[in-house]
A and B are shown apart, each in its own frame.
Chain A
Amino acid sequence: MFTISKGFAVISATKNLHLPYIKDIFASGRTRFLEWVVSENQNCSSTSIRDPTVTRATANRKLGPHKRTPYEDINALKAKANAKTRQVIAHERIMKRLSVGLFRMSNNISEDDRDLLSFAFCCNPLDPKAWGELLVDTGVVAIDRHHFGSLAPGSPLFDDVINVMTEYLYDTTSTKWFLPTYFWSEGAKFVRPSNRMTSCARTHKLCRLVRFNGRLKDCMQIYIPMHNDVIGHWYLLVCDIFHKKAEIWDSLPDVHHNKKCENDCHISVSGEAFVQCY
């Protein structure tokens, strides 16, 4: 009893305690006294000049998953999930549009390629402006979306797509000549002997053969796109000038139409148009 009162007297001297507190402490006993000392020490530390030491226990730490409320960012989470779902749906829709029959587009293509394909081949079919939009323009031939769509599998190919390709392949230094489809259409026509010169001039003008500048000596191969108008099929006539032979490259050879193809090629190549143009 004495020791406690002695210790108490020391504390009271330093903290300027009042008498009623002391009476209370003695009345409640030792446990209550210790609690009081701890609370007094905490109050003292909050008013002290020194900064509180930041420890692991007192630091503001990020809440763990078990302490975090599930209602915190529910809207943001919903928006994120919706955006992802929308993206997946859009991707699947494009892929579905690009698939033909049993054949499906591979998922390995990049997003840029996918967007490019969807821009070129998928548009609103009821919008006439979208179909008339020019996608390729070489300055000589231009292709709108409607004709560009003929490159899709399963649809017949328009001749201006082939003409654009021949324009791209044209090179002044190349030994290979790629002629447009007009050469076939003009060469296949029946021309009276008296009109041959006019027909030749017309073919020369239409196919813009001036650009080759009559360099037949430097030419090795001439590629002429041909068309079978009976079955509606494109094939290629390759005239090898160097080896003096001609080949027909056909992706869909048909026994019944082989003779017709050969005849058409003979007419186009042996016609006056071919000979006199150079």
Chain B
Amino acid sequence: MSRGRSDEDTVKLKVQYNKDGVQTFFRVKRSIKLQKLMEAFCKKRSLDPKSMQFTFDGVGLEKNKTPEELLLNFVQLGMEDGDEIDALELVDGA
């Protein structure tokens, strides 16, 4: 009897930081809110979550949504499992 997670329950996501271009891989449950992934990424890279923005194909991701809900959007946008999320640092200026 295998105790490993089945692929149907999880989704593989890749987060790329725009400053250095380094990619971080995440395997998350589909029912978990994306905010958790964002916080985990910021904690791993020692970044301030308030100054970060996460986008997929130039479209900003909402924190309250889950990958399951996003996957519905992904189908509409033509995205597949294992695609890339961009982590952009917010810039401010006068």
Contacts and interface: CB of A to CB of B under 8 A. Distances in A.
Contacts, number: 58
Contact of B58 (A140, A147, A157): A140
B55, B86, B92 interface centre (most CB from chain A within 10 Å): B92
Contact of A150 (B57, B58, B60, B92): B92
Judged by DSSP, the binding face of A is mixed
Contacts of A142: 60, 62
Contacts of B92: 150, 156-159, 232
Given A160-B53, A182-B88, A186-B18, A206 B93 contact: no
Interface of A: 139-142, 146-147, 150, 156-160, 180-182, 185-186, 202, 205-208, 227-229, 231-234, 252
B56 to A, nearest CB: 9
A150 to B, nearest CB: 7
A181 B58 CA distance: 11
Given A182-B88, A206-B86, A227 B58 contact: no
A192 to B, nearest CB: 11
Contacts of A156: 92-94
B82 to A, nearest CB: 16
B59 interface: yes
B36 to A, nearest CB: 16
B88 A207 contact: no
| B: contact size bracket | 10 to 19
Contacts of B57: 205, 208
B88 A227 contact: no
B50, B86, B93 interface centre (most CB from chain A within 10 Å): B93
Contacts of B91: 158-159, 181, 185, 227, 229
Interface of B: 18, 50, 53, 55, 57-60, 62, 86, 88, 90-94
Nearest to B60: A141
B94 A206 contact: no
A228 B93 contact: yes
A157 B93 CA distance: 5
Given A185-B18, A185-B88, A140 B59 contact: yes
A142 B86 CA distance: 16
Nearest to A154: B94
Contacts of A227: 91, 93
A252 B93 CA distance: 12
Contact of B90 (A139, A159, A228, A233): A159
A232 B58 contact: no
A215 B89 CA distance: 30
Nearest to A229: B91
A217 B60 CA distance: 30
Nearest to A186: B18
A211 to B, nearest CB: 9
5 smallest CB-CB distances across A and B, nearest first, come from A208-B58, A156-B92, A232-B93, A234-B93, A159-B91
